[in-house]
Amino acid sequence: MQEQYRTVARAGVHETEVSRSRFICALAPAATEAEAQAFVARVRKEHPTATHNCFAYVIGAEAAVQKASDDGEPGGTAGVPMLQMLMRRDVRYVVAVVTRYYGGVKLGAGGLIRAYGGAVGEALDAVGTLTRRRFRLVNITVDHLRAGKLENDLRAMGRDVRAVRYAEGVTFELGLPDADLGAFRAWLADATAGTAVVKLGGEAYGDV
């Protein structure tokens, strides 16, 4: 699995003008291909009179799904440079739609490639990205007497305490990088006099 990836911090729109043509790039996070396609359809509905609504999206931490459309522009001059910009920036789980309103000046193939790719790059800069890193879920169970101090220590260390559950004991769910597990286990054994019970869960991605 990929250790980390970047995605857009939020949905957003950024507009540029090239030789009197308007290029409006709408970006949004998309967890699935269906979400990406729904976003494309929504933008097309918002701009029914646009000359073109080109799109590109990348789904999966390892970019398993990559799609692009030129929507009537010359082949390879719109969707592909948009997709290449997303890949070059290592952005995943994202959909980009560039809406073009033709301004009367032909840009040529090179100009279109620069305009569409540039629209996505500028929109990424304007909207902002965040990094998500792979981690392992770890459940730590301790008795109620030790739980308060352990929770304070975990939070003071900046550990990602994702949930706290109370039963016969108190269970903390953490997200830890695999590389930290060995040192963390040693620290935990010392902090709880060896009484903590540790169970490893699956892997996921979380914000850095």
Query: How far is CA 204 from its chain centroid?
Result: 13
Q: Enumerate the β-bridge partners of residue 174.
A: 138, 161
Residue 11: what pLDDT?
95
Residue 57: what pLDDT?
98
Residue 1: what pLDDT?
61
Residues of the chain with pLDDT under 50: none
Tokens of 83: 């997709």
Smallest CA-to-CA distance from 71 within 95, 53, 48, 50 is with 53
Smallest CA-to-CA distance from 1 within 132, 95, 89, 129 is with 132
Residue 28: what pLDDT?
97
Cα(66)–Cα(116) distance, integer angstroms: 17
For the structural domain made of 132-207, what CATH number should be given?
Answer: 3.30.70.240
Tokens of 115: 């305009």
Smallest CA-to-CA distance from 57 within 47, 49, 69, 73 is with 69
Polymer length in residues for the chain? 208
Tokens of 106: 């032909």
Burial of 167 (0-12, 13-18, 19+ CB in 10 A): exposed
Give the tens place of pLDDT for each residue, 150-168.
999 999 998 888 899 999 9
Tell me the residue type at 92.
R
Q: Say whether 132-207 and 4-127 share the same fold.
A: no
**Which run of H or of E encompasses 35?**
helix 33-46
What is the CATH architecture assignment of 4-127?
2-Layer Sandwich (3.30)
Residue 63: what pLDDT?
93
Quote the pTM value: 0.74
The CA-to-CA distance between both ends of the chain, in Å, stands at 17
Give the tens place of pLDDT for each residue, 30-39.
999 999 999 9
Show the beta-strand stretches assigned E in the chain.
4-8, 12-18, 21-29, 52-59, 65-69, 94-101, 129-142, 160-166, 170-176, 197-207
Q: How many helices (H) and strands (E) does the chain have?
A: 5, 10
Smallest CA-to-CA distance from 65 within 27, 97, 25, 37 is with 37
Could you state, in order of their start, the residue ranges of all structural domains in the chain? 4-127, 132-207
Alpha-helix runs per DSSP H in 92-143: 108-127
